[in-house]
């Protein structure tokens, strides 16, 4: 399903992959991983089959700007599938291939212009305004390993607030709900709702109620068992609070 919002066309392509189009500009966030863009992803539950976009061999190579939040979502093959020849890659500066066994391809080895950004970065690429926003798991919060260390410690990655054609979009990245999120001026909110590594559906709904965006489209859920979430319950929760929500899923 494709979501139309303001002057944007938005698709959740599975896992954390988001495509946003405005006029002649195409933006992607966190493309790839787990076979969602190669056709290899398969649902491991009925919930995932019903509420996650189907995998496909996806290679449009139409992206003008590709944003990457952190090393867990850094997939060079996914980037090459979506990026046009003259695309700009905007990636968090902390991405280090030595922190992952998924790829040996460094950002510097990609055949594109690459801009690395820090936690408080802001800029403009192809008329897309962007601000990096903090994204991490609280050390004493629910999203930690058995030894108490966060899956995403502070400084490990970021989220992005984008302004595309005058419409502000927030993808907060892999994060808990953090102080300051609620104060952001957002028209389209695209939160992760899978829990375990990020905010869950209840926390995301509470944040949306404080933020009061014009539309919510959840992502980053039901790709695998640890991200299983009841998206229908999430949608019902928001609608009861008077917040518009659409589920871009199968």
Structural domains present in the chain: 3-240 (3.60.15.10)
* pLDDT confidence of residue 101: 83
* pLDDT confidence of residue 120: 86
* pLDDT confidence of residue 249: 86
* pLDDT confidence of residue 1: 80
* pLDDT confidence of residue 74: 97
* pLDDT confidence of residue 97: 85
* pLDDT confidence of residue 246: 97
For the chain, residues with pLDDT lower than 70 are: none
* pLDDT confidence of residue 73: 97
The DSSP code sequence of the chain is -PEEETTEEEEEEETTEEEEEETTEEEEES---TTTTBT----SSHHHHHSSPPP-B-----EEEEEE-SGGG--HHHHHHHEEEEEEEEEETT--GGG-SS----GGGSSSEEEEE-TT-EEEETTEEEEEEEE---TTSSSB-TTS-BSS-TTSEEEEEEEETTEEEEE--S----TTGGGS--SEE--B-B-SSS-BHHHHHHHHHHH--SEE--BS-SSSGGG---HHHHHHHHHHTT--B-----
pLDDT tens profile 238-249: 999 999 999 998
pLDDT tens profile 129-152: 999 999 999 998 899 998 989 999
């Amino acid at each position: 399903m494709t979501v139309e919002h303001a002057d944007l066309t938005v698709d959740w392509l599975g896992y954390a992959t988001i495509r946003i189009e405005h006029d002649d500009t195409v933006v992607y966030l966190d493309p790839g991983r787990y076979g969602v863009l190669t056709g290899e992803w398969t649902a491991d539950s009925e919930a995932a089959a019903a509420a996650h976009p189907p995998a496909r061999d996806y290679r449009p190579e139409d992206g003008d700007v590709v944003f990457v939040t952190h090393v867990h979502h850094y997939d060079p093959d996914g980037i090459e599938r979506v990026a046009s020849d003259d695309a700009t890659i905007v990636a968090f500066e902390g991405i280090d291939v030595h922190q992952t066994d998924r790829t040996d391809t460094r950002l510097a080895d990609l055949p594109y212009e690459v801009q690395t950004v820090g936690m408080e970065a802001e800029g403009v690429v192809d008329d897309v305004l962007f601000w990096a926003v903090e994204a991490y798991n609280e050390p004493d919060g629910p999203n930690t390993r058995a030894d108490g260390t966060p899956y995403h410690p502070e400084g490990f990655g970021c989220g992005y607030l984008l302004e595309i054609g005058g419409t502000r979009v927030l993808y907060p990245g892999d994060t808990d709900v953090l102080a300051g999120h609620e104060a952001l001026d957002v028209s389209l909110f695209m939160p992760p709702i899978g829990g375990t590594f990020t905010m869950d559906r209840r926390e995301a709904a509470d944040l949306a109620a404080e933020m009061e965006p014009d539309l919510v489209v959840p992502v980053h859920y039901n790709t695998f068992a640890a991200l299983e979430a009841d998206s229908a319950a999430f949608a019902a929760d928001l609608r009861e609070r008077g917040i518009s929500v659409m589920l871009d899923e199968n």
